[in-house]
């Protein structure tokens, strides 16, 4: 199993290209199931999750072509996928394919919308909480699908098609909003989604569906209205830059010190996180090429942060933020409100010398003057990268084990950091 070795102490200087967003690319790929015509997606990141979803879509009959490199493109240029679901040959998404990743469950909605039936294994994904799917099922049943659970599978049918309806979510869910959108675009009549997720990835999906012929208003607000159409057509869409990758590297610079341009990053996708980084002592500047982050000379300040749905501070940056607070001059508080078990990184950060006390959904972090390298274990995607950030300043050598989690969501992480001066390498085997 591959590991990552880091020797701490080097500042980061230079440029890091930001990839297309994993959490936007995945639902966009799923949207290809809604039409027999070709959906062209540009700026798709090369990630294990993208490869896993390709396998799932192929199993349903989607033909996927990868466009070759064009002049001037490098190994870090996002790939272009051409997805054509001419004929859906199988409406079952089996456990073996769905269990590794949350987004794979999202095939349920387009399969019912287009085929009137689907059998999809209950999903996996990062082990950060119980992660039920009741809101997805509620949305689909409000649109007329009959649903039962059989031997670990959701079995759904709507033989005469879905019909528009009102969906009022009791809590904000990104995935359930994707499900509602993916189903409602082909339903007969109007659907109103109340308390919809406002995340940029929802907006990106709605933008792409609109290019495919869907009629959607209000994406990016908490009320989305969809007027169903009988069929969608092909389109070309470019995936938005990854705001979580952006925030992760910004926090890495805040931790290690230095001056880095996050090339292609969009500040409007992560304003609240950038505000927290400024409060922690980083200089953050919007430029015409992306975001410049620097910290030179002065130390890190403690912060008080609560994770919230967009536009609040994202849960997917909570672990990385916690890594930098371990070195702040004082006590920080981080409250996790989205997932009930997203503090798995705490005990691994403690191996490096961090001083963290957990009290329910709150973590109190007392900054220490130094961290010391040690072997640590990656437990989920964002927890893993928080250990890399801590390793960048830990004295001596940190070895992060089980990095297959990292490969799910960070494209060429060690290359991007090494190019800015980090002493980091992948050890294979």
Ligand X SMILES: C=C(OP(=O)(O)O)C(=O)O
Strands 146-150 vs 153-157: parallel, antiparallel or unpaired:
antiparallel
Q: Does 295 bind ligand X (CB under 6 A)?
A: no
Q: Which of 34, 112, 126, 197 is catalytic?
A: 126
Site string for ligand X, 329-368 (x = CB under 6 A): ----------------------------------------
CB nearer ligand UD1, residue 134 or residue 166: 134
Residue 311 burial (CB count, 10 A): 16
> DSSP of 138-199, one letter per residue?
HHHHHTT-EEEEETTEEEEE-TT--B--EEE-SS--HHHHHHHHHHHTTSBSEEEEES----
Is the Cβ–Cβ distance between 124 and 99 less than 8 Å? yes
| Angle at CA of residue 376, ends 385 and 11, nearest 5° | 50
Q: How far apart are the C-alpha atoms of 391 and 51, rounded to whole Å?
A: 28
Q: Does 318 bind ligand X (CB under 6 A)?
A: no
Going through 270-429 in order, the beta strands assigned E by DSSP cover 283-286, 290-295, 304-306, 331-335, 355-359, 362-366, 375-377, 397-401, 423-427
Which one of 97-105, 153-161, 250-258, 286-294 is the stretch in contact with ligand X (CB under 6 A)? 97-105
Residue 314 CB, shortest distance to ligand UD1, in Å, is: 6
Q: Does 102 bind ligand X (CB under 6 A)?
A: yes
- Helix intervals (H) in 196-270: 200-211, 243-256
**Which member of 113, 140, 176, 214 binds ligand UD1 (CB under 6 A)?**
176
**Which member of 125, 228, 247, 258 binds ligand X (CB under 6 A)?**
125
CB nearer ligand X, residue 204 or residue 316: 316
**Which member of 175, 200, 247, 290 binds ligand UD1 (CB under 6 A)?**
175
When CB distances are held under 5 to 8 angstroms depending on the partner's kind, the choice from ligand X, ligand UD1, none that residue 174 binds is ligand UD1
Active site residue 126: yes
Provide CB contacts within 8 A for 126, sequence distance 6+.
102, 380, 381, 382, 405
CB nearer ligand X, residue 126 or residue 185: 126
List residues with catalytic annotation: 126
* Contacting residues toward ligand X, per CB under 6 A: 23, 101-103, 125-126, 316, 381-382, 409
* Contacting residues toward ligand UD1, per CB under 6 A: 23, 26, 102-103, 129, 131-136, 171, 173-176, 315-316, 338-339
For the annotated binding site for phosphoenolpyruvate, the residues are 22-23
């Amino acid at each position: 199993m591959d590991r990552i070795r880091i020797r701490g102490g080097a500042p980061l200087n230079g440029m890091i290209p930001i990839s297309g967003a994993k959490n936007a690319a995945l639902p966009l790929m799923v949207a290809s199931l809604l039409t027999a015509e070709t959906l062209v997606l540009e700026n798709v990141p090369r990630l294990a999750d993208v490869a896993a979803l390709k396998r799932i879509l192929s199993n349903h009959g989607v033909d996927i072509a990868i466009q070759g490199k064009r002049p001037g493109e490098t190994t870090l240029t996002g790939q272009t996928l051409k997805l054509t679901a001419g004929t859906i040959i199988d409406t079952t998404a089996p456990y073996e394919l769905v269990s590794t990743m949350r987004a794979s469950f999202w095939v349920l909605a387009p399969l019912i919308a287009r085929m009137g039936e689907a059998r999809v294994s209950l999903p996996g994904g990062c082990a950060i909480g119980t992660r039920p799917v009741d809101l997805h099922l509620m949305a689909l049943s409000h649109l007329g699908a009959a649903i039962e659970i059989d031997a670990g599978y959701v079995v759904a049918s709507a033989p005469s098609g879905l019909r528009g309806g009102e969906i009022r979510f009791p809590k904000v869910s990104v995935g359930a909003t994707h499900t509602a959108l993916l189903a409602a675009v082909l339903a007969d009549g109007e659907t109103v989604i109340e308390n919809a997720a406002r995340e940029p990835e929802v907006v990106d999906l709605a933008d792409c569906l609109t290019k495919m012929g869907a009629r959607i208003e209000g994406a990016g607000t908490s009320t989305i209205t969809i007027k169903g159409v009988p069929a969608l057509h092909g389109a070309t869409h470019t995936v938005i830059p990854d705001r979580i990758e952006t925030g992760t590297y910004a926090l890495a610079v805040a931790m290690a010190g230095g001056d880095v341009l996050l090339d292609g990053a969009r500040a409007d996708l992560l304003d609240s996180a950038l505000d927290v980084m400024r409060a922690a002592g980083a200089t953050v500047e919007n430029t015409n090429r992306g975001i410049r982050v620097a910290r030179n000379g002065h130390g890190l300040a403690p912060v008080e942060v609560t994770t919230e749905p967009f536009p609040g501070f994202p849960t997917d940056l909570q672990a990385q933020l916690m890594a930098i607070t371990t070195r702040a001059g004082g006590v920080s508080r981080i409250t996790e409100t989205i997932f009930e078990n997203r503090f798995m990184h705490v005990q691994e950060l403690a191996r490096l010398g961090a001083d963290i006390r957990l009290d329910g959904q709150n973590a109190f972090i007392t900054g220490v003057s130094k961290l010391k390298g040690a072997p640590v274990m990656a437990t989920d995607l964002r927890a893993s990268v928080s250990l890399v950030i801590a390793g960048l300043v830990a004295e001596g050598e940190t070895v992060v084990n089980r990095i297959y989690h990292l490969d799910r969501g960070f494209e060429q992480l060690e290359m991007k950091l090494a190019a800015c001066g980090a002493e980091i390498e992948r050890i294979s085997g």
